[in-house]
A and B are shown apart, each in its own frame.
Chain A
């Protein structure tokens, strides 16, 4: 469904993504794991097209020159030159790192903004669905986004992304700074979303353990390069992966 080949991103002369091939089939959950500075967020920005915006902004301000190379194919079409808004229209929706919810809008308004691209009927249906999978949101729908707890904000961010009717949802570190219980809730919700909306999901995370059970296919990034990939069982049984991303020390 989504396939990136030979993705390279340079921040000035620093190589952030080194010749990465990544793909995601329909109805699949793909995990991308890596430490800080491995290039996870850069990958997400590049896939969603936000990188074009960052590139332009830096160019205008005379900052770093960002070079993006490689090819991204989505449903057989090359979308590497499309703007983020055009990609969103085609169903590639990013749920950004650190949530980035609209702090001065209420929960309901946040979700409504997310549903800008959807038809009113669709939006209504999805709104109900969002409240169904995240019942906690319905109780606080009048509250300002800025006053929500971390977990509620993350639910809201995912809900907002869902409102845009994704075909492929990019979740960038959805578990950042959340309690284990909240992490489990979100992971369960992610799987439900995939099963019920029939969409593909790419999720990045540093600590693989909580996400791993729901992942169909995984990539391991290290310093901008994809060092390993495979289906869940393959990765799970690899001793290097186990020690690096599960915290399991093999003796």
Chain B
């Protein structure tokens, strides 16, 4: 009865198997196979500003990269450390306000304010999130969601840091090319940096914390320290995106604590494929331009936007990147059983 049944099987491509180890270095074909996808991404990102028509779309690409940084930080925290952090906006806002203060009060140039705000902001965020680190899952998500709302209301109510008007008169980048290539460079740097990080020893511990934190504790490691390190890295990425954003807009206000900065990166991660780190960047490259295109529809764009998201989650929850990786590394064929 089962004689004529067939089954579709997935097989790793020969070249994938050959290029798995160090021997990939011995042949150009295998090297190309490994390098091409990365090269396409890097070169693609670098020439994007050159080929896009007009300043408007160039600005869209800059904003895309800023969201991508946030999305990578979300993906890192959620899929490699197990902390679902909805506080992306908190990182952006902290980085943004710190940059604004450093720039307007101390008169530091953007080249100094961005790294300073990144480090200071990340330390501040880690310190503030420290009490919540023992929390897990949905509890951490809820608490981290409260932080940006909290910060926004504090600034509004106490009328500090410029109140609802925000801080104005911040230096912009030297010109738009510096602005774009700086943001793109930072994004690529962090993308490959985090990819490297999660494959190092500390990355193993991070994944261990996600899978079974009790076992990590039983191995004699303090999980709160590791969670704090992870939050510091993620917060640094968020603060850096906030710092860039402030210099681009030449303005820092409470809208930097807006929910958009928390939600859109998550959507991008879902579409791009969680746990791949490149996926969130691809997701942002899809989502941010779409949301710009849909601007013509006014408030109706939220509807389209939500429909796209729901469609992706229901029908392709694996994400673009996971799908793409599979197609690149494996082929399918029918076999007779």
Q: Decide yes or no whether B273 CB sits under 8 A from chain A.
A: yes
- B2's partner among A61, A62, A63, A69 (CB-CB below 8 A) is A69
Digitize B309-336: 1 where CB-to-A-CB distance is under 8 Å, 0 elsewhere. Answer: 0000000011100110010000000000
- Whether the Cβ atoms of A62 and B322 lie closer than 8 Å is yes
Kindly identify, within residues 3 to 47 of chain A, every residue whose CB is under 8 Å from any CB belonging to chain B: 5-6, 8, 10, 12-13, 19
A200 to B51, CA, bound (A): 71
- Whether the Cβ atoms of B5 and A69 lie closer than 8 Å is yes
Digitize A54-94: 1 where CB-to-B-CB distance is under 8 Å, 0 elsewhere. Answer: 00000011110101011100000000000000000000000
- Whether the Cβ atoms of B5 and A12 lie closer than 8 Å is no
Chain B's interface size range is: 10 to 19
Instruction: Give the interface SS of chain A, mostly helix, strand, loop or mixed.
Output: strand
Give the total number of A-B pairs whose CB atoms are below 8 A apart: 35
A60 to B315, CA, bound (A): 7
- Whether the Cβ atoms of A62 and B323 lie closer than 8 Å is yes
Q: Decide yes or no whether B159 CB sits under 8 A from chain A.
A: no
Q: Decide yes or no whether B7 CB sits under 8 A from chain A.
A: yes
Chain B residue with minimal CB distance to A5?
A: B1
Q: How far is the CB of A193 from chain B (nearest CB, A)?
A: 34
Q: Decide yes or no whether B295 CB sits under 8 A from chain A.
A: no
Knowing A61-B317, A62-B322, say if A13 contacts B2 (CB, 8 Å).
no
List chain A residues, Cβ under 8 A from B7.
Answer: 10, 67, 69
- Whether the Cβ atoms of B1 and A6 lie closer than 8 Å is yes
- Whether the Cβ atoms of B317 and A65 lie closer than 8 Å is no
Chain A residue with minimal CB distance to B274?
A: A61
Q: Decide yes or no whether B196 CB sits under 8 A from chain A.
A: no
Digitize B1-13: 1 where CB-to-A-CB distance is under 8 Å, 0 elsewhere. Answer: 1100101111100
Chain B residue with minimal CB distance to A10?
A: B7
- A62's partner among B1, B5, B11, B318 (CB-CB below 8 A) is B318
- Whether the Cβ atoms of B8 and A62 lie closer than 8 Å is no
A69 to B9, CA, bound (A): 14
A128 to B11, CA, bound (A): 54
A60 to B273, CA, bound (A): 12
- Whether the Cβ atoms of B10 and A13 lie closer than 8 Å is yes
List chain B residues, Cβ under 8 A from A70.
Answer: 2
A172 to B267, CA, bound (A): 40
Q: Decide yes or no whether B111 CB sits under 8 A from chain A.
A: no
- Whether the Cβ atoms of B10 and A65 lie closer than 8 Å is yes
Interface size on A, residues (CB 8 A): 16
- Whether the Cβ atoms of A69 and B337 lie closer than 8 Å is yes
Kindly identify, within residues 185 to 244 of chain A, every residue whose CB is under 8 Å from any CB belonging to chain B: none
- Whether the Cβ atoms of B337 and A62 lie closer than 8 Å is no
A13 to B11, CA, bound (A): 8
A102 to B7, CA, bound (A): 37
List chain A residues, Cβ under 8 A from B319.
Answer: 62
- Whether the Cβ atoms of B10 and A19 lie closer than 8 Å is no
List chain A residues, Cβ under 8 A from B8.
Answer: 65, 67
Digitize B281-321: 1 where CB-to-A-CB distance is under 8 Å, 0 elsewhere. Answer: 00000000000000000000000000000000000011100
Q: How far is the CB of B14 from chain A (nearest CB, A)?
A: 15
- Whether the Cβ atoms of A60 and B10 lie closer than 8 Å is no
List chain B residues, Cβ under 8 A from A6.
Answer: 1-2
A63 to B274, CA, bound (A): 13
List chain B residues, Cβ under 8 A from A69.
Answer: 2, 5, 7, 337
A5 to B2, CA, bound (A): 10
- Whether the Cβ atoms of A13 and B1 lie closer than 8 Å is no
Chain A residue with minimal CB distance to B318?
A: A62
- Whether the Cβ atoms of A8 and B273 lie closer than 8 Å is no
List chain A residues, Cβ under 8 A from B11.
Answer: 13
A70 to B337, CA, bound (A): 12
Chain A residue with minimal CB distance to B7?
A: A67
Knowing A8-B337, A69-B7, say if A60 contacts B317 (CB, 8 Å).
yes
A23 to B54, CA, bound (A): 71
Chain B residue with minimal CB distance to A67?
A: B7
List chain B residues, Cβ under 8 A from A10.
Answer: 7, 9
Chain B residue with minimal CB distance to A7?
A: B2
List chain A residues, Cβ under 8 A from B9.
Answer: 10, 12-13
Q: How far is the CB of B134 from chain A (nearest CB, A)?
A: 20
- Whether the Cβ atoms of B322 and A19 lie closer than 8 Å is no
Kindly identify, within residues 3 to 32 of chain B, every residue whose CB is under 8 Å from any CB belonging to chain A: 5, 7-11
List chain A residues, Cβ under 8 A from B5.
Answer: 69
From B11, B319, B322, B337, name the one whose CB has the most chain A CB atoms within 10 angstroms.
B337
Q: List 25 A-B contacts (CB under 8 A).
A: A6-B1, A8-B2, A8-B337, A10-B9, A12-B10, A13-B9, A13-B10, A13-B11, A19-B2, A60-B317, A60-B318, A61-B317, A61-B318, A62-B318, A62-B319, A62-B323, A62-B326, A65-B8, A65-B10, A67-B8, A69-B2, A69-B5, A69-B7, A69-B337, A70-B2
Known: A69-B2, A69-B5. 10 other contacts (CB 8 A): A6-B2, A8-B2, A10-B9, A13-B10, A13-B11, A61-B318, A62-B273, A62-B323, A69-B337, A71-B1
- A interface residues with partner B (beta carbon < 8 Å): 5-6, 8, 10, 12-13, 19, 60-63, 65, 67, 69-71
